[in-house]
Chains A and B, each alone.
Chain A
Amino acid sequence: MSLLLLLILSMVLLAIGVYAIVASRQEGGSRRVYGTTLVVCGVLLTLALTHLLAGHEPITISLPLGLPWLGAHFRLDALAACFLVVVNLGGTIASLFAWNYGQHEQTPERVLPFFPAFLAGMNLVVLADDAFVFLFAWEFMSLSSWALVMAHHQDPANARAGYLYLVMACFGTLALLLAFGLLAGPGGGYDFATIRAGTVNPGSAALILVLALLGAGSKAGLVPLHVWLPLAHPAAPSHVSALMSGVMTKVAVYGFIRITFDLLRGPVEWWSGGLVLALGGISAVLGVLYALMQQDLKRLLAYSTVENVGIIFIGLGLTLAFQANQMYSSAALALTAALFHVFNHSLFKSLLFLGSGAVLTATGERDMERLGGLIHPMPWTALAFLIGAVAISALPPLNGFVSEWLIFQAILISPELSQWLLKFLVPAVGALLALSAALSAACFVKAFGITFLGRPRSPAAAGAKEMDRCSLTALFVLATLCLLAGVLPGLVVDGLAPVVGLLNGGAQLTTQHSQPWLTLVPVVDVKSSYNGLLVLLFIVLSGTVVAFLIQRLASDRVRRGPAWDCGFPDASPATQYTAGSFAQPIRRVFGSIVFQARERVTMPPPGDLGPARLEIELRDPVWERGYVPIAHAVVAASTRFNYLQYLTIRRYLSLIFGALVLLLLGIVLWR
């Protein structure tokens, strides 16, 4: 019954989208749209959460819609419920934030109708139980988000981002289409129940896995398929960016999990785990290095999504490797870590994107070089953004640390893997993960420090105003959830247990909430444990006691004065460190290898009063080595075949005939 309700509510979201076409032209229409979306998503969230926590059996339903011989199948199991929670939590918070934020929109008719439709699409992807509904909803999600990316299409950069996104989305769907085709086999059983019951031969299984990785990975932003993401996510309005980065990438991860762990019940080859691990590790480090080089706050956040998706795929790759070796208890740990990071990333990335939206509204700027000092006019936004920054930097006692800690624990129990390649790959990926964690701390010191601390670098930053209560509530709900998931990780792990059991042949982690002091002890005989609650308690306690003692016994006097700065305080805020200069040491250490970073200083000749110029040249290795050659090849091929456009009708008919003969021959030979 609850599944039908979920479907009806998704349809209601679609209906809100249709209504929004009218409402966007009315006074207060934006509030009506976001308000109803908020309520519907809230109900969806509650239903999904109840299903997940109550541990209900999977429910299926088939409706006489869609293809006449197939119908439309839907299913609500633990995995779907888990991702429904992620989708609708993001949807609820984004709608809450947009209640006031959405009113700043200059072209509401380009945003309002697509926002609920986008959410409906994501809900339907997760609920789909046959390939047709899945792909239809997937495309619906892609196209509605494309429309949102193109909301401010007058900007040529946004139009380019939209074009690239469309191309990559088509490519991803194509890969998924082929994957489902292979899964269904020649019999054409496209509903997931039939696919689960059937078996695929190892060769097809490998191909399906690679295709799923391409299809879902291009949507999730896995390197080298990430190129569209840092352009498209920031182009949308900020509450939509939050949904795209925080939630849509998770729906892509869902697609990968559904295909590899649920539908593909055949033998998993160990190398597939290695492949996913390697891609995850590369994405994690490259993503954060790209992020460190950015000046645009929202683009920095988008690149950091690439990093976090990489971390999730490291967890999934470990799971595949363990499952291939029949080590199901270790696989449970890795899978729990990956799912935990899915949940965590949806929280803090939404928080950070909404925070950047607040900055954008208050100052009209996304360029960090023109921001600064926002902690003074916007203390609450700054606090929430700071919590998000600490969480995403994987620092205790917040939630980002817990999921990375779980992945580290999974890596540490992997020397038992029997394949030599994995024995070398797993510790190397561990080092990459450690590197990405440390670099992301640097990245978010930069993001928070340059944007919110220091002195304002432009009049716009100096005249900023704090956000309204409603938007702040949205930020603080997410910040609180980050803190709660960090200090009570055992409860989240227990919540994820049914999902892990479903995908891992019944093996899941031991119950955590019965541990003393809610300590996290993932593997009992290893004894490694972590207790975020006590760490937080100890820090707060010792900090407060010391503060109290010092204020009481020593001194509590404070004097304000000009900055000391080694005796040379300069009045101009231009002397502060900027985003570019903050990243300079890291650019020299890592960027010179990865991006072939070059710095060139042009000094004016003596006597000339013109400014000196520092030029930084970065080359994007993925774009230059991967995409540019492909684009050239496509252009070359299309020029080559251009003459086919100017043939006579006779020639066309003979071409068609030739193609038909070739295809028939192919079928004859294949049979």
Chain B
Amino acid sequence: MALITNYLVQGCQMLLVLLLAPLLTGWVRMLKARLLRRRGPSVLQPYRDLFKLLRKEAVLADSASWLFRVVPYLIFAALWVAAALVPTFAGGLLFSWTADLIAIVALLGTARFFLALAGLDVGTSFGGIGSSREMMIASLAEPAMLMMVFTLSLLAGTTELSSVARFMLTAEVGLRVSLGLALLALVIVAIAENARIPVDNPATHLELTMVHEAMVLEYSGRHLALIELSASLKLLLYLSLLGCIFVPWGIATTELNPTAYLIGVGAYLLKLAVGGLLLALFETSIAKMRVFRVDQFLSAALMLGLLGTLLLFVSRSL
């Protein structure tokens, strides 16, 4: 019985992240529009876009190879698996031991690797611009993220995410300098990895500012739908990660009954809503950076993460 419940919870989580991801994107877009005093599209617009794209035929460039057609499925699968391993409403997921936090970071790296390759596949200048910039950003964002992981796992004594979340709920965590540094690092990485302002602008097609959009420029139809859905999943994943590590309250960990799950889902939705609001506020209040300022922004994250880890190597109580 317990096993069936576990499978059920894991299955629910997989479906939940998949269904919620476009909603979150729509929510952020709507908030941004409202903040700019536009009416903006409905929250459900991303779903409509996805269905429209899925029904359309895919146009492939003449020079596209088999890799170009496989990559959308691969990226989607990698991100879905990664998102399903981050506790959202319930901790202690059935397969949480499959991949720890380092492996989740690396799984995101796999998705990025293939997306960058897809950008180079058709052989256009825009694809190349996107890929090379994306890899530059990743070369700083990924170590920063890993340093954040180091800080957390030194505190929690493990890199397994469910255990980390459970540890963060206990009283012995308290307020720590290292956790503050890790939070800041993770927020910066999340902004960069999700191609948000000030690193990239998800809403433009202006070549000087494009990173992610330039890479996926040649995609259309169902392939584009999958890429868009993967991008939404990635945003959801980072918000869930921030939620389960730094605001773990409400996650069902000990008492596993329907009420606890309901509370967990409610808390999760609330976290996403607040996270989306903060993101929209941040994005509307700041200007896009030059590409070669991004490395300073991200180096700051890397240094913060390293500082957090160093503090813990010096003393476990910091």
Contact = CB atoms under 8 A, between A and B. Distances in A.
Interface in B263-285: none
B240 interface: no
Nearest to A519: B97
Contacts of A570: 124-125
Interface stretch (A155-163, A259-267, A531-539, A622-630): A531-539
A390 B71 CA distance: 14
Contacts of B121: 375, 449, 453-454
A564 B218 contact: yes
Interface in A442-483: 442, 444-446, 448-450, 453-455
A445 B226 contact: no
Given A373-B63, A449-B131, A454-B63, A555 B55 contact: yes
A445 B120 contact: yes
B123 A564 contact: no
Contacts of B78: 539
Given A453-B121, A577-B131, A396 B150 contact: no
A527 B136 contact: no
Q: Give the one of A396, A430, A557, A583 with max B CB within 10 A.
A: A396
B100 A529 contact: yes
Q: By DSSP majority rule, is chain A's interface helix, strand, loop, or mixed?
A: helix
Contacts of B153: 412, 528
B45 interface: no
Interface stretch (B32-40, B249-257, B307-315): B307-315
A581 B133 CA distance: 10
B9 interface: no
B126 A566 contact: yes
Contact of B159 (A375, A382, A528, A531): A528
B44 interface: no
Contacts of A528: 100, 153, 158-160
Interface in B142-164: 142-143, 146-147, 150, 153-154, 157-160, 163
A576 B125 contact: yes
Contact of B123 (A372, A411, A435): A372
B178 to A, nearest CB: 11
A573 B63 CA distance: 11
Q: Give the one of A435, A535, A569 with max B CB within 10 A.
A: A535
B127 A442 contact: no
B74 interface: yes
A433 to B, nearest CB: 9
B208 to A, nearest CB: 12
Contacts of B287: none
B57 A577 contact: no
A450 B120 contact: yes
Interface in A589-604: 589-590
A271 interface: no
A216 to B, nearest CB: 28
Interface string A416-449: 0000000110111011001101110110111011
B77 A546 contact: yes
B61 interface: yes
A444 B112 CA distance: 12
Nearest to B67: A375
B300 interface: no
B139 A396 contact: no
A671 interface: no
B150 A395 contact: no
A408 interface: yes
Interface string A389-410: 0100111100001000100110
Interface string A529-569: 11100110011101100110010001101111111111001
A396 to B, nearest CB: 5
B123 A535 contact: no
A663 to B, nearest CB: 51
A560 B154 CA distance: 52
Given A582-B128, A585-B132, A442 B106 contact: no
Contacts of B305: 431
Given A427-B313, A535-B103, A563-B63, A554 B54 contact: yes
B222 A554 contact: yes
A445 B116 contact: yes
A386 B140 CA distance: 23
A445 B135 contact: yes
Nearest to B120: A449
Nearest to A409: B159
B135 A442 contact: yes
A324 interface: no
Given A431-B143, A455-B123, A535 B99 contact: yes
B132 A561 contact: no
B221 A555 contact: yes
Nearest to B303: A431
A303 to B, nearest CB: 16
A405 to B, nearest CB: 6
A603 B62 CA distance: 34
Interface string B185-222: 00000000000000000000101000000000110111
B242 interface: no
B39 to A, nearest CB: 28
B42 interface: no
A212 B160 CA distance: 38
Interface in A262-285: none
A558 B68 CA distance: 13
Contacts of B139: 435, 438-439, 441-442, 586, 589-590
A25 interface: no
A415 interface: yes
Interface in B86-122: 95, 97-100, 102-103, 106-107, 109-110, 112-113, 116-117, 119-122
B261 interface: no
Nearest to B65: A375
Nearest to A515: B97
A434 B144 CA distance: 8
A415 B60 CA distance: 52
B312 to A, nearest CB: 7
Nearest to B210: A566
A438 B316 CA distance: 28
A581 B103 contact: no
B313 A577 contact: no
A539 B81 contact: yes
A560 B220 CA distance: 11
Given A539-B81, A557-B58, A565-B126, A405 B103 contact: yes
B244 interface: no
Contact of A576 (B124, B150, B163, B292): B124
B231 interface: no
A212 B103 CA distance: 35
Contact of A561 (B61, B98, B100, B126): B61
A453 B123 contact: yes
A566 B117 contact: no
Contact of A575 (B80, B103, B124, B295): B124
Contacts of B309: 427, 430-431
B240 to A, nearest CB: 17
A530 to B, nearest CB: 5
B179 interface: no
B43 interface: no
Interface string A283-325: 0000000000000000000000000000000000000000000
24 contacts: A390-B113, A394-B109, A395-B106, A395-B109, A434-B143, A434-B146, A434-B147, A438-B143, A441-B142, A454-B122, A528-B158, A540-B77, A554-B222, A557-B221, A558-B57, A561-B61, A562-B61, A563-B124, A564-B217, A566-B217, A569-B124, A582-B135, A583-B132, A585-B132
The 6 closest A-B pairs by CB, nearest first: A577-B128, A454-B123, A543-B77, A449-B120, A585-B136, A557-B57
Given A428-B306, A582-B128, 8 more contacts: A375-B121, A395-B113, A431-B305, A442-B136, A542-B76, A557-B58, A564-B220, A577-B120
